[in-house]
Structures are given as C-alpha cells and as structure tokens.
Chains A and B, each alone.
Chain A
Amino acid sequence: MYRETDIIQSADQSPEGYMIINVGPQHPATHGVLHLVITLNGETIKKVEPHLGYIHRSIEKMCESLSYRQFIYVTSRMDYLSAHINNHACALCVEKGLQVEIPERAKVIRVLMDELTRIASHELWWGAMAMDLGAFTPFFHAFRERETINDIMEETCGARLTMNYMVPGGVMHDIHPNFQRRVKEFIQLYKSKIHEYDELVTGNIIFQNRMKGVGILSAEDAISYGCTGPVARGSGVSSDIRKVQPYEIYDKLQFDEVLETGCDSFARYLIRIKEMNQSIRIVEQLIDNIPEGDFQAKTKAVLKLPKGEFYTRVETARGELGVYIVSEGGTTPYRIKFRSPGFSNLSVLDKIARGGKIGDLIAMMGTLDLVIPDIDR
C-alpha cells in the first residue's frame, strides 16, 4: 500500500512535472482488484508500482490450522482458473511426504484434468485479452469452447470453478461414464473452431501492430525476475516444469515445449495459442488409454506427515507453482508456502512497461495473464 504523502512529494520534486495515475483497484482491465500507481511523463511510462493486498485472504496462515486433507480445498481459491492444478500440486506434496504410490488410473485422470484446465484457462485469457484491446467478439468465441470444458468438469467433479477433485492418494471419485465421449466431442469442436482464433485475432494487422515490439523482456531479465510459464517461454527460456522436472506421467507423453524468441507481447500471445494445441495432443493420447483399476490409493483417514520439508513444483497455466510444506510431524502443516507464478510475473511489469506508452500498458498486462487471487493468496 502507498502513502499519499510519498506520491505527492515525488511529483513535486520532479522537475519534469511527472503525472501520477492510479489504475485500479476497480478497473476492468486489471481483471480483479489490482492497484497500479503509474508515473507518467506525457504519455510515456516512467514507473509502474503495484499495490497488492485487496484480496489477500492469508491462505498460508489458514492452512497452518487445517489438516492435510482439508487444506487442499482452500487452494482452489488461489488461482481459480487452474484450480485442478493447484489441488494437484498440494496432493503431490502430501503424497511425497506420505510416500504413497497412486494408481495409474488416478495419474491419467489427473493429467487429463490438468490439460483440460490449461485449455480452459488459456481460452479465458484469450477472450479477456482481446476484450482489453477493444475487441468484444472473441470473448464469446472463447467462452463457447470453455463452457464445453466446464460442462465436462461439472459432470465429473460437481463444480465448474473450484473443483476440489484431487485428494491425497488419487482423485475423489471416478470419472463420469460420459466423460470420454464428451471429451472426444470437445476435441472435435476445438479442432473445427481453432482456426477462427487465428482469423479473428492473431492475423489481425491492428492487433499485431499493438503487440509486436511492445513490452520487451530479455531472457536474462526473465530468469532474474523469476518469470515462468508463457511469460518466460516468450523470451526463449525453457521453463516448463512438465519437461524440466517431470511429475506424474508427463515424461511418457509426447508433447513439445513451445518456445518463442520474440521477447515481446506477441511472442507471449503465440505461446499460449500453441500451448492449447499441445494440451489437445496430450488429451488425445490419453483419452482412449485410461487404464482400469482403482482411482484412489488406500490412505489413512487422518494423515500425518513425518518431520521434514517437502517441495513440489508443477506447471499451471500461468507458470511454476511451488508448494513448500514444513512438517513437525503433526496432523497439520507447520508452515506452508505457495510460490505462485503470478507474483513473480507481476514483478516484471515495471521492467517491461518503462519507456512504453500508457496505451500499451493494458496490452502488456494482458499478455502477463495475471490472476489477482493467485498473487495475493
């Protein structure tokens, strides 16, 4: 949070007469309650200062008094567009502590759900980002496909946003009998519609002019600022945890890590579009090969982790999510830290926006794909 006096002082002291503008906390383009204090010289951005905390729920502290079965449900509320993947990360971390081997069927279901989540998240990002730039139609196109995924999720998990489907030991219950048929229908729908994305937005010359050469982020800066996910891969940094440190069955699957070397907003845009195709590839490989068997390993009703420290890294739609559990041997974690991808990706905003124009700021923010509850936790 800022002190008003600080800002007035700095404006007075600047000989050029810089102007300070507040974007947010209530602003449609911040996609939540993000507050940016922007220092401007004319139209040129001199400084962007994020002020956080408007949706801070202190999830880390809450988890300290929740059991290892309970705390996973809170994490769906962090990055609500990657709810499955958040749950997955926590379940993996607890399983690492318990040293439980989960059945093959559960692994495949988990990966299928993760990849469908990734597609749904990128769909929403694509629609919302086009809307930030003033194009409203893509939003409806994106939601047409996203709703299909949400319907599939609803049938199996009973929820459309905060799924809470992955539990320590596997998944909560088996997939719905319709699941495979509906996912295949979705793949057909996706393949018949994806070309519209390129026709509507990617190839649009106005869109390209607003994205190319804007928000340059070098590979060194991306690493130094801790950027992950499509933000880092847009600068050519190989950072996909599914490849770098494979978990579940990702090492057995055929898919490519998408890399672009444009380093600009357009490169980050292309990464997400191409990633959706890779996710479809994974879903296609698995949907007919879900092994028979249990969907959950047998675990005790009350879980106790041995004394020690456990860390898992997974790839969400936004980048690397880390779950760090410090256990003292009890039924609740002593300390939990969530290394959220959005937090580090936001910290780079000042770097890429400096020297740019205020009109481009929204486009830059759009390609960072910020989810505010993920940043605030």
Chain B
Amino acid sequence: MTNEELKAKLTEWHPEASFEEGGEWVNLVSTTGNLLSLMQQLRQEPSLSFDYLFCLTCVDFKTQLTMVYHLTSTTLRHKLVVKVKLDPKQPEVETVSAIWRTAEFLEREVYEMFGVNFLHHPDLRLLILPDGWEGKNPMRKDYEDPVNMIKL
C-alpha cells in the first residue's frame, strides 16, 4: 500500500487522528486512550497486517515526551510511524507488548531511560541501569550528573 492509500484508509477509520508532515513514511499521531485499540487494529486488519515493530523509542521534547513506534509488514512491506504525546510530569501509556513481543524489552529500556510508565506491562523492571537506581532518568534532557558524566 502506498503512503497516500494508507493515509486515506487510516483517516477513514480514525477521523480524530492527525498526521504529521515530513519524513518518508506516514506519521500518525494518536492519543494515549486510543493507542491500544489502534495498534490492535493495525496488527489484525488483513489489508494492513503490521506484524513487525522494528523500532520503539521515546523522544524528550521538554514540554512533552513523544513515544515513537515504527511498524512494518513482513508480507506487504509498507511502513507506518505511530506517535503518542505524553505529559513529562506523569508519562503513562498502555503497553503494546501483548501485540508485539519485542516491545517487552524495548519498553523496559524506555521505562528506565525516560521514566515512562507502561500500564499492564508483564515485567516492568530495570534492564540496563544498576539495581537500586535512584534519581532521574538518564536520557531525559534535564538530566545532569557531574560524577558519571555522559555528556561530552
């Protein structure tokens, strides 16, 4: 499916969703409430069948945190980027690890690096940071640590 067809189809299903311009793929902006049902639909609908989540990450824009999901289909080969904007003070979003198992590890990484709380995640624990880590999340823009400096 081309980008235009994909965009038309998604607008038809989710009139409330907005699109971001730029980038080579379609950028769909969803809301925290709609995310899980949207993702399930993207995975299960045969004409879309986004069965492969190839990148899951978070970007700290200071005023908001943006979750970015890169999806593709191993049969149809089209791609889609789904974004969700979160409140940086209390970031919470539903987990997608029940749909794509790879999200389980990727979300654990985002959880410790950005402090995003994934609701209903099966095993939300620290993965990379040392046990008993206290303090801020290292990948946030306001993170400062003069002792263990990671900024060059």
Instruction: Give residues in A with beta carbon < 8 Å to B.
Output: 1-3, 51-53, 56, 58, 60-62, 64-66, 221, 223-226, 237-239, 244-245, 308-311, 313, 320, 322, 324, 326, 334-335, 337, 339, 343-344, 346-347, 351, 376
- Please list the residues of chain B having a beta carbon within 8 angstroms of any beta carbon in chain A: 22-25, 27, 51-55, 57, 59-60, 68, 70, 74, 77, 100-102, 104-106, 109, 126-132, 138-139, 150-152
Given A53-B128, A224-B51, A311-B70: A61 and B139 interface contact (C-beta under 8 Å)? yes
> What is the CA–CA distance of A335 and B55 in the complex, to the nearest angstrom?
14
Asked if A339 meets B55 with Cβ closer than 8 Å, knowing A58-B138, A65-B151, the reply is yes
A347 touches B22 (CB 8 A): no
What CA separation (Å) do A311 and B152 show in the bound complex?
24
Instruction: Determine the chain A residues whose CB is within 8 A of the CB of B100 once the complex forms.
Output: 224, 226
How far, in angstroms, from A309 to B22 measured CA to CA in the complex?
7
* Max chain A C-beta neighbours (<10 A), residue from B22, B53, B60, B101: B101
Q: Give A71 Cβ to nearest chain B Cβ, in Å.
A: 10
Q: Is B22 a contact of A1 with CB atoms below 8 Å?
A: no
Q: Are A223 and B74 in contact (CB under 8 A)?
A: yes
B150:A62 contact, CB within 8 angstroms: yes
CB-contact partner of B102 in A58, A335, A344, under 8 A: A344
Interface centre among A226, A238, A245 (most CB of B within 10 A): A226
Distance in angstroms from A243 CB to nearest chain B CB is 11
Q: Are the CB atoms of A56 and B128 closer together than 8 Å?
A: yes
- Determine which residue in A64, A238, A309, A322 has the highest number of CB atoms from chain B within 10 A of its CB, and name it: A309
Q: Name B's interface SS.
A: loop
| CB-based contact B77/A244 at 8 Å | yes
Q: Sorted from nearest, which 6 A-B pairs have the closest CB atoms?
A: A226-B102, A53-B128, A1-B131, A347-B105, A58-B150, A337-B57
| Residues in A neighbouring B138, C-beta threshold 8 A | 58, 61
Mostly helix, strand, loop or mixed at chain A's interface?
mixed
Contact A311 B24 (CB under 8 A): yes
B131 A2 Cβ-Cβ under 8 A:
yes
Q: Which A residue sits closest to B20, measured CB to CB?
A: A309
Closest to A221 in B: B101
How distant is the Cα of A226 from the Cα of B69 in the complex, in angstroms? 13
A50 to B2, CA, bound (A): 39
What are 28 A-B interface contacts by the 8 Å CB criterion? A1-B129, A3-B132, A52-B127, A53-B127, A61-B151, A65-B151, A223-B74, A224-B100, A224-B102, A226-B52, A226-B53, A226-B101, A245-B77, A309-B22, A310-B23, A311-B55, A320-B54, A322-B54, A322-B70, A324-B68, A326-B59, A337-B55, A339-B54, A339-B70, A343-B106, A344-B106, A351-B101, A376-B128
Q: How far is the CB of A318 from chain B (nearest CB, A)?
A: 14
Interfacial chain A residues near B24, Cβ < 8 Å: 311
Give which listed residue, A52, A238, A309, A326, contacts B74 with CB less than 8 A: A238
Which of B57, B106, B150 has a CB less than 8 Å from the CB of A324?
B57
Given that A62-B151, A224-B51, A313-B54 are contacting pairs, would A237 and B74 also be in contact in the complex, using a CB cutoff of 8 Å? yes
Residues of A within 8 A of B68 (CB): 324
Q: Of B59, B128, B131, B151, which is within 8 A of A335 by CB?
A: B59
Verify A225–B139 contact, CB threshold 8 A: no
CA distance A221 to B53 in the complex (A): 12
Residues of B within 8 A of A346 (CB): 105
